[in-house]
C-alpha cells in the first residue's frame, strides 16, 4: 500500500496471528488507546500532542475580517492540515494521496462541521466584521492515529486559546492588548473526540461476506497496523453522547452490531480524554492566573 514500505509476508502473518490470539505487537490490549501526552505551549492555543511515536502540533491564530456575504452573523473558522514528508517519507511533497485527503477531510468534518466552535460568538458587527479563527495542524511524526491526534490537538488548542478583548463603538472596533485587558477564551459548544478502529479479516473475503466469522478490530492502530489493516473506521463522538461524524470509507465490510460496539467504546475513550483535557486546561489556567496576579500586584505596588 504505502509507497516505499515493504511489509514481508512473515510480518503480516505474524501480526494477524497475534491479533487472533488477542495480542498486539506493542503489548497493548485490542481495545486499548495509547497514552496521550498533551503539552501546552507558553502561548495561548499552541498544543503538542504525542501518542506513541505519533506527534502532532497545533497552533491557533485569529484576525478580524469581513464575514461571508451569505452568513453575516457568523465568524470564520478554518482548519488546515499540513502533512509533509517530515512526518514520514511515505507522504510525498506537493501531491495529496487518497489517505492524506481522507485524514484532512475527517479532521475537518469532526471539528468544523460538527460546530465545535460557536461561530456566531465570533461575530463582531453583523455583515461587516468578525473574527476569523484558524487552526494550523502540523504532523511531525507518523506512527498511525493521525486523525485522532489531530482532533485532540485542535480541540485542546481551541479550549486553550484566548483572543484579545474588543470594544465595539458604532462601526469602530477597538482591540485591547493582553496587558490592557485580560484576553477572552473562545466559546466551545462541545468537544468532539475521534477514535479510530482498524479492522482485520483473518479469513478470506468469502468467509467475511457469507460466513459468520467476525472481523477483528483494534482501537487506535499504530503505523504497522494501519499499513496492514483491511478496513478502517473513525468515530467522532463527544461526552454528551452525540456521534458527530462516522467515516468508514470502504474497506472490509463490517457488521452493523460491531459498529454499535465501536461507538460505545469510542464514547468511553472520548469521555476520559475530554475530562483529561479539561483538567489540563484548568491547571494551566490556574498557573497563568497565578503569575498574572503576581504581575498585577507588582504593578499595583508601583
Partner 1 sequence: MDGRRWNELRRFQCRINTHPNSADGSSFVEQGNSKVVCIVEGPMEPPSRSQLSATEATLNISLNVTPFSSIDRKRRNKNERRIQEIITSLKRTFEQSIITDKYPRTTISITCHVLTLDGGLISAVTNSITLALIDAGIAMYDYISSVSAGFYDNTPLLDLNQLEENDLSYLTIGIVGKSEKLALLILENKIPLDKLEGVLAIAVAGGHRIRDMMDKEVRRHGELRLSKLANK
Partner 2 sequence: MSIIIPGDSVQVANSVALGPGVVCTRNRSVIPVTAGILEENSKSIHVESNGRRYVPSTNDYVIGTVTGSFGDAFRVSLSDFTFPVSLSAMAFPNASKKNRPNLKVGSLVYARVSSAIPEIDVEIECLDPTTGKDGGFGLLEGGYVFDVSLAYARTLLFNPNYPLLNQLVKKCQFEIAIGLNGKIWIKTDDLKHTLAAANAIKQCQLVPSSECSNVINSAFKSLSQ
Partner 3 sequence: MEDSDNADDEDGSMQNRAIVTPGELVTDDPVWMKGHGTYYLENRTYSSVAGTVSRVNRLLSVIPIRGRYQPETGDHIVGRITEVGQKRWKVDIGAKQDAVLMLGSVNLPGGVLRRKNEADELQMRNFLKEGDLLNAEVQSLFQDGSASLHTRSLKYGKLRDGVFLKVPSSLVVRSKYHSHELPGGVSVILGVNGYVWLRKTSDLQQQQSASHVGKDAAALSTRGNYSVGNASVTITRLEEESSWEIYSDVNDQISQSIRETITRYANCIKILAYCEIGITLERVTACYEASMAYDEAGKLIDREVMESIGDDVITAEKYRG
CA distance 266 to 292: 38
For 267, list phi and psi in degrees, rounded to 5: -60, -45
Q: Which of 205, 213, 295, 296 binds partner 1 (CB under 8 A)?
A: 205
Q: How many binding residues for partner 1 (CB under 8 A)?
A: 38
Asked if 231 is part of the footprint of partner 1 (rule: CB under 8 A), the reply reads yes
Chosen from partner 1, partner 3, partner 2, none, partner binding at 207 (C-beta under 5 to 8 Å by type):
partner 3
Distance in Å, CB of 88 to partner 2, minimum: 9
Stretch in the footprint of partner 2 (CB under 8 A) among 16-24, 68-76, 116-124, 248-256 = 16-24
CA distance 191 to 151: 10
Question: Which residue's CB is nearer to partner 3, number 210 or number 302?
Answer: 210
Strands 129-141 and 76-83, by their bridges, are: parallel
Question: Which residue's CB is nearer to partner 2, number 85 or number 290?
Answer: 85
Distance in Å, CB of 212 to partner 3, minimum: 10
Asked if 259 is part of the footprint of partner 1 (rule: CB under 8 A), the reply reads yes
**What are the beta bridge partners of residue 188?**
117
Asked if 62 is part of the footprint of partner 1 (rule: CB under 8 A), the reply reads no
C-alpha R_g of the chain:
22
CA distance 134 to 62: 6
Distance in Å, CB of 253 to partner 3, minimum: 12
Residue 190, classed as helix, strand or coil, is coil
CA distance 220 to 67: 38
Asked if 228 is part of the footprint of partner 1 (rule: CB under 8 A), the reply reads no
* Burial track 40-76 (b if 16+ CB lie within 10 A, e otherwise): beeebbbbbbbbbebbbbbbbebebeebeeeeeebbb
Distance in Å, CB of 256 to partner 3, minimum: 17
CA distance 163 to 185: 6
Q: Which residues bind partner 3 (CB under 8 A)?
A: 204, 206-207, 209-211
Q: Which residues bind partner 1 (CB under 8 A)?
A: 98, 101-102, 104-105, 109, 113-114, 205-206, 208-210, 231, 233, 237, 241-257, 259-260, 263-264, 267
Amino acid at each position: 500500500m504505502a509507497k516505499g514500505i515493504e511489509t514481508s509476508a512473515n510480518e503480516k502473518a505474524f501480526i494477524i496471528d497475534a491479533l487472533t490470539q488477542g495480542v498486539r505487537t506493542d503489548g497493548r490490549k485490542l481495545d486499548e488507546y495509547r497514552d496521550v501526552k498533551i503539552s501546552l505551549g507558553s502561548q495561548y492555543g499552541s498544543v503538542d500532542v504525542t501518542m506513541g511515536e505519533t506527534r502532532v502540533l497545533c497552533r491557533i491564530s485569529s484576525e478580524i475580517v469581513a464575514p461571508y456575504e451569505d452568513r453575516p452573523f457568523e465568524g470564520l473558522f478554518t482548519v488546515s492540515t499540513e502533512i509533509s514528508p517530515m512526518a514520514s517519507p511515505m507522504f510525498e511533497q506537493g501531491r495529496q494521496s487518497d489517505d492524506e485527503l481522507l485524514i484532512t477531510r475527517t479532521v475537518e468534518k469532526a471539528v468544523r462541521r460538527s460546530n465545535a466552535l460557536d461561530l456566531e460568538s465570533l461575530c463582531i458587527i453583523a455583515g461587516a466584521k468578525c473574527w476569523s479563527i484558524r487552526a494550523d495542524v502540523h504532523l511531525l511524526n507518523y506512527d498511525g492515529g493521525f486523525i485522532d491526534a489531530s482532533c485532540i490537538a485542535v480541540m485542546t488548542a481551541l479550549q486553550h486559546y484566548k483572543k484579545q478583548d474588543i470594544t465595539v463603538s458604532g462601526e469602530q472596533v477597538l482591540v485591547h492588548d493582553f496587558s490592557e485587558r485580560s484576553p477572552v477564551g473562545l466559546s466551545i459548544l462541545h468537544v468532539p473526540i475521534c477514535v479510530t478502529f482498524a479492522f482485520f479479516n483473518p479469513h478470506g473475503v468469502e468467509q467475511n461476506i457469507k460466513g459468520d466469522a467476525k472481523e477483528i478490530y483494534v482501537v487506535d492502530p499504530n503505523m504497522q497496523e494501519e499499513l496492514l489493516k483491511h478496513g478502517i473506521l473513525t468515530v467522532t463522538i463527544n461526552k454528551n453522547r452525540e456521534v458527530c461524524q462516522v467515516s468508514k470509507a470502504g474497506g472490509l465490510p463490517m457488521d452493523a452490531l460491531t459498529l454499535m460496539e465501536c461507538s460505545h467504546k469510542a464514547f468511553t475513550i472520548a469521555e476520559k480524554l475530554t475530562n483529561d483535557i479539561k483538567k489540563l486546561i484548568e491547571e494551566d489556567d490556574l498557573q497563568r492566573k497565578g503569575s498574572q496576579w503576581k504581575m498585577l500586584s507588582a504593578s499595583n505596588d508601583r
